[in-house]
Amino acid sequence: MTLLEVDNLVKHFPVKGGFFTGGGVVRAVDGVSFRIEAGRTVGVVGESGCGKTTTAKVVLGLETPTSGTLRFEGADLQTLDAAGRRRYRRSVQAVFQDPFASLNPRMRVGAIITEPLVVHEQLARGEARERALRLLDVVSLPERSIDLFPHEFSGGQRQRIAIARALALEPKLIVLDEPVSALDVSIRAQILNLLRDLQARLGLAYLFITHDLAAVAYMSHTVAVMYLGKLVEFGPARAVATAPQHPYTRALFAAALPSHPDERREDVTLVGEVPSPLAPPPGCRFHTRCPVVMERCAREEPPLVHTDGRLVACHLYSPTPGVGPWQPQRAAPGSLTSPSFTTGGAP
Amino acid sequence: MSTPMSPSASPSRAASLTLAWRFAAFHAEGFPVLPTLILLVLVLTAVFANVIAPSDPEIGTLGERFRPPAWQVGGSEKYLLGTDHLGRDVLSRLIFGARVSMVVGLTAVLFAGAVGTALGILSGFLGGWVDQVIMRVTDTWLALPALTFAIFLAAVVGPSEMNIVIILGAVYWTRYARVIRGEVLSLRERDFVRLAIVAGCSKWTIMRRHILPNVLNSAIVLGTLMLGVVIVTEAALSFLGVGVPPPKPAWGLMLADGKKGLMAGYWWLTVLPGSCIMLMVLSANLLGDWLRVKLDPQLRQL
């Protein structure tokens, strides 16, 4: 069952012009579509500034989309009445990146965890305490935590508190905005395992936003790769991680640490910076840094097309006759000569 | 085999150690002992004024006018710090003056703090036109010289203790509004405020439960620093005759009454209340400075 359907989401931020420079718009998210199935995880990866956090904020209702529709369980969010919106708020919760900023330093853990419950259900004090204890148990924190303040916990423990709070309303979808990026590497696996465990037990759906490729491959059922506000590749996590198709995805996964030191990786190095989302390049947004750029890339924007069981937005896979899949002989600068690139087959 | 000494031998000992450590840290950070003691003495004096004062501060004996302090020639044991031009006991007047200064100072600071903090939170959190209106009013307010403005208001509404409190509150709320608004601007971008929205809290709930407790520290620090300013202003207004009305023993009023006697050698009528004002303001400022550093959320990395 489709839980959340995001269709052609656009979010532009107007920028005030200075005295000499005109104003403009930051195209943070520019036409992104994806869907989240109940009980599944969609991972969103990309560099900073690619629009993944903005997407999360729109899903959470913290930002209103410039255009595009969000449908939750079939109902368009913009046409929802007050009761419907409240139901949506209950169903979608969040865990943020910085566990030091996401808990109010002046509230006790018990109050933090039960705040969503108190807002939505007007619980009695005793009952709220009981629920808080149960939630602490779910995230494996000791009972006495309930009367402590956030500063008495470590980063990993705080993230557990944040997760307990997100679970309080028994939501259907949790937006995880870089939930482990601020944690020590040794703690990350614990939190990720906790999240997977909770998904299996409670049937939660996750929108998992990260730049940690190993984490996204481990956590997600489906992966969406974003670049400058656009979706460049969208498909099953395993396929995307093991046989990326879009040149950007390939570069991204080539840059990730291999799981074994002997593992051979193709060496794809991207040069330059991400262009400003104030003035994204015409055509394919990746063409300024693409190692296999073609003349056509600067003119035409590649549509998302089905290739090898996934969606890819690249002219290499465009169905236009005569341009066909890219051949190594036509290689532009760069050393993208791995055979899997041409065959595109998943192992 | 016996177990070697474990690092946490007994929990109670560890607890008392941390307590000792905290106490040491308290001192190491330059806690202003003397100013706190002075303020404490002044507060106690104010509270128990009617118990410690040797005589009525408002009724004098005309036959005992301009008595010097007890240790000077012509002084008497009955009037330890001498008498004024109406034969009133200076010590008793100073003691009751502490009460006036404290009551006026604290209530005015509370009043200004409540108004300023509320407006600062509204302005910073709601933003938009609310912010524009409140901040432009604050700017205009701040452009007026505080003392002149206070004299003007006092002249309009007439002198009384109650009016002084309202006037001082009306003059000084802008400082709070400015500082608190700045804090709120940074607070509202914090993740816990975003998560409160996600949890379904209303704006009102967020301001009350998430913003207010987090700006309270700053408001307290500002209040301590403002206490000195407010007390000086109250003394100045009383000195100028638009503050606390005459029979009441206010320090500023005593200064005004005593200034004519300065040339005649009646130094105790001005030096003593002047020193009291100075001690109180200096103590409040030193304590406030220390609190500012101690409670600064930036320094504590909250």
Contact between A103 and B192 using a beta-carbon 8 Å cutoff = yes
Q: Is the pLDDT of residue A206 over 90?
A: yes
Reading the block at residue A108, the tokens are: 């006790």
ipTM, two decimals, is: 0.80
Q: Is the pLDDT of residue A327 over 50?
A: no
Comparing alpha-carbon positions, the chain A residue that sits nearest to B215 is A106
Cα separation, B298 vs B289, whole angstroms: 15
CB neighbourhood size of A333 (10 A): 9
Contacts (Cβ under 8 Å, ≥6 apart) of A313: A230, A231, A232, A233, A246, A284, A302, A303, A304, A305
pLDDT, residue B249, reads: 84
pLDDT tens by residue, A175-184 = 999 888 888 8
Strand partners of residue A15 = A24
Among A60, A97, A103, select the one facing B198 at the smallest CB separation: A60
Residue bearing tokens 């419907």: A84
pLDDT tens by residue, B122-180 = 999 998 899 999 999 999 988 988 888 888 888 888 878 888 899 999 889 998 999 99
| Site from A100, A115, A122 to mutate, B interface, most B CB atoms within 10 angstroms | A115
CB neighbourhood size of A301 (10 A): 14
Contact between A106 and B190 using a beta-carbon 8 Å cutoff = no
Any idea what the Cα angle at residue A115 is, between residues A110 and A119, rounded to 5°? 150
Confidence of residue B52 (pLDDT cuts 50, 70, 90): confident
**pTM of the predicted model, to two decimals?**
0.77
For chain B positions 176-195, those within 8 Å of chain A (CB to CB) are: 190-192, 194-195
Among B194, B200, B213, select the one facing A116 at the smallest CB separation: B200
Answer CATH for A2-14+25-225 from 3.30.300.210, 3.40.50.300, 2.40.37.10, 3.90.105.10: 3.40.50.300
pLDDT tens by residue, A127-172 = 888 889 999 998 989 988 898 888 888 888 999 999 999 998 889 9
pLDDT, residue B12, reads: 54
Reading the block at residue A43, the tokens are: 């991972």
Q: Which range among A321-330, B242-251, B258-267 shows the weakest confidence by mean pLDDT? A: A321-330
Q: Is the pLDDT of residue A256 over 80?
A: no
Contacts (Cβ under 8 Å, ≥6 apart) of B294: B29
* Beta carbons of A70 and A4 less than 8 angstroms apart: yes
Contact between B198 and A120 using a beta-carbon 8 Å cutoff = no
Question: In terms of Cα–Cα distance, which of A4, A126, A130 is closest to A61?
Answer: A4
Cα separation, A155 vs A63, whole angstroms: 27
DSSP state of B206: I
pLDDT, residue B22, reads: 57
Three-state DSSP at A169 gives: coil
Confidence of residue B23 (pLDDT cuts 50, 70, 90): low
Cα separation, B177 vs B138, whole angstroms: 8
Q: Is the pLDDT of residue A48 over 90?
A: no
Query: Exposed/middle/buried for A143, CB within 10 Å: 0-12, 13-18, 19+?
Result: exposed
Q: Is the pLDDT of residue B117 over 90?
A: yes
* Higher per-residue pLDDT: A74 or A330: A74
Any idea what the Cα angle at residue A262 is, between residues A261 and A267, rounded to 5°? 85
Q: How far is CA B35 from CA B188, B251, B279, B289, in A?
A: 36, 19, 8, 11
Best-predicted range by mean pLDDT (A48-52, A319-323, B209-213): B209-213
CB neighbourhood size of B203 (10 A): 13
| Min distance A2 CA to chain B CA atoms (Å) | 22
Name residue B293's amino acid. V
* Ranges assigned E (strand) in A151-239: 173-177, 205-210, 222-227, 230-236
Cα separation, A128 vs A284, whole angstroms: 52
DSSP state of B244: S
The span from the first CA to the last CA of chain B, in angstroms, equals: 46
Among A60, A93, A106, select the one facing B214 at the smallest CB separation: A106
CB neighbourhood size of B33 (10 A): 9
Question: In terms of Cα–Cα distance, which of A71, A95, A77, A98 is closest to A3?
Answer: A71
Query: Exposed/middle/buried for A191, CB within 10 Å: 0-12, 13-18, 19+?
Result: buried
Contacts (Cβ under 8 Å, ≥6 apart) of B107: B165
Confidence of residue A173 (pLDDT cuts 50, 70, 90): very high
Question: In terms of Cα–Cα distance, which of B232, A147, B270, A183 is closest to A163?
Answer: A183
Q: What is the maximal distance between C-alpha atoms in chain A?
A: 72
Contacts (Cβ under 8 Å, ≥6 apart) of A301: A282, A283, A284, A285
pLDDT, residue A176, reads: 92
Q: Which domains does chain B have, with CATH numbers?
A: 33-48+84-297 (1.10.3720.10)
- Chain A residue numbers with beta carbons less than 8 Å from the beta carbon of B196 are 104, 115
Q: Is the pLDDT of residue B4 over 60?
A: no
pLDDT tens by residue, B202-252 = 889 899 989 999 898 888 888 888 888 888 888 888 888 888 887 788 888
Comparing alpha-carbon positions, the chain B residue that sits nearest to A113 is B199
Question: In terms of Cα–Cα distance, which of B294, B113, B205 is closest to A104?
Answer: B205
Confidence of residue B111 (pLDDT cuts 50, 70, 90): very high
Confidence of residue A336 (pLDDT cuts 50, 70, 90): very low
Three-state DSSP at B190 gives: coil
Where exactly are the structural domains of chain A? 2-14+25-225, 247-343
* Higher per-residue pLDDT: A179 or B294: A179
Three-state DSSP at A58 gives: helix
How many interface pairs between A and B have CB atoms less than 8 angstroms apart? 58
Cα separation, B236 vs A173, whole angstroms: 63
* Higher per-residue pLDDT: B274 or B79: B274
* Beta carbons of B112 and B172 less than 8 angstroms apart: yes
Contact between A102 and B195 using a beta-carbon 8 Å cutoff = yes
pLDDT, residue B135, reads: 93
Q: Is the pLDDT of residue B270 over 80?
A: yes
Comparing alpha-carbon positions, the chain B residue that sits nearest to A82 is B200
pLDDT tens by residue, B83-104 = 887 878 888 888 888 888 888 9
Reading the block at residue B248, the tokens are: 């009441």
pLDDT, residue A258, reads: 67
Count, in order, helices (H) and strands (E) of chain B. Answer: 13, 0
Q: Is the pLDDT of residue A318 over 80?
A: no
Contact between B196 and A93 using a beta-carbon 8 Å cutoff = no
Q: Which helix (H) or strand (E) holds A42?
A: strand A41-45
Three-state DSSP at A180 gives: coil
Question: In terms of Cα–Cα distance, which of B204, B20, B60, B221 is closest to B121?
Answer: B204
